[in-house]
Structure 1
């Protein structure tokens, strides 16, 4: 079978996406892809979701921080950005998703926007609500472990 000429081939754009969640959250590639498809279907409807054709190309998630590259059909970039921004949970666990940028090639997307996620997490004991508690510290964010789950705090909250 012959290849299509270049002017007839589908054109793509690539979104670099940053993901944040509580430190004990586990997000798999399949569940994140499902959440993106579900969000796109709810926001754009079935025809719009099929036109945008959001596909997860690369995904990594560890210790509550992750990143992904999502392939989007050319001309549907704004709809895709909106659909990705609507992802608020994966398998019932709350997550924060933000689009770092968009690019015309996977290579440019990875070089410009990927690898910026902070991988340095430190486990410490902090004073919070009058008690010593376990916490995970990432840059300026501090996730304090309480009896009811994690609470997001800053360094100023702990002083």
Structure 2
């Protein structure tokens, strides 16, 4: 079977996605892909979702931060961005998602926008709400462990 000529092949765009969760959350690739499909289906419908063809190409998550590359058809980038930003939970864990950038090739996407999740996190005790608590500190953000779960705080909120 012959390949299609270049002008008839589907054209793709690749979206670099930044993911942030609480330190104890551990979403996996399959759960993120499922959340991506459900968000697209709910926002742009089944036909629009099938047209956009959002596919998760790579996924990496550890210590509350992660990144992913999502492939989408050329004319559906705006729909895909809107659907991706509608994701608020993956496997009942709250997530924050940001589209870092869009590229025409996977390689350019990885070189320009990926690798920023490598910020180090440290575990330390902090003073929060007049008590000493355990916290995960990343750059200028802290996730403080409380009785009801984690609370996001800035460095000036803790002592």
TM-score by length of 1: 0.98
Helix, strand or coil: the match of 1:117? helix
Alignment-derived partner of residue 72 in structure 1:
72
Helix, strand or coil: the match of 2:39? helix
Contact 2:119/2:139, CA 8 A, preserved across alignment:
no
Alignment-derived partner of residue 119 in structure 1:
119
Aligned: 1:60 with 2:96? no
Query: Take 2:13 and 2:116, find their aligned partners in 1: how far apart are those partners?
Result: 20
Helix, strand or coil: the match of 1:40? helix
Alignment-derived partner of residue 40 in structure 1:
40
Alignment-derived partner of residue 30 in structure 1:
30
Q: Moved runs in structure 1, 4+ residues, more than 6 A?
A: none
Please report how far the alpha carbon of residue 118 of structure 1 lies from its aligned counterpart in structure 2 after TM superposition: 3.4
Alignment-derived partner of residue 92 in structure 1:
92
Task: Provide the alpha-carbon RMSD of the alignment.
Answer: 0.6
Alignment-derived partner of residue 10 in structure 1:
10
Query: Take 2:37 and 2:88, find their aligned partners in 1: how far apart are those partners?
Result: 13
Contact 2:18/2:117, CA 8 A, preserved across alignment:
yes
Please report how far the alpha carbon of residue 117 of structure 1 lies from its aligned counterpart in structure 2 after TM superposition: 1.2
Query: Take 1:58 and 1:21, find their aligned partners in 2: how far apart are those partners?
Result: 18
Query: Take 1:119 and 1:149, find their aligned partners in 2: how far apart are those partners?
Result: 23
Aligned: 1:136 with 2:136? yes
Alignment-derived partner of residue 149 in structure 2:
149
Query: Take 1:63 and 1:92, find their aligned partners in 2: how far apart are those partners?
Result: 17
Please report how far the alpha carbon of residue 38 of structure 1 lies from its aligned counterpart in structure 2 after TM superposition: 0.3
**Residue deviations 1:111-154 (CA, integer Å, cap 9, x gap):** 00000113301000000111110000001110000010000001
**Residue deviations 1:83-111 (CA, integer Å, cap 9, x gap):** 00000000111000000000000000000
Contact 1:24/1:64, CA 8 A, preserved across alignment:
yes
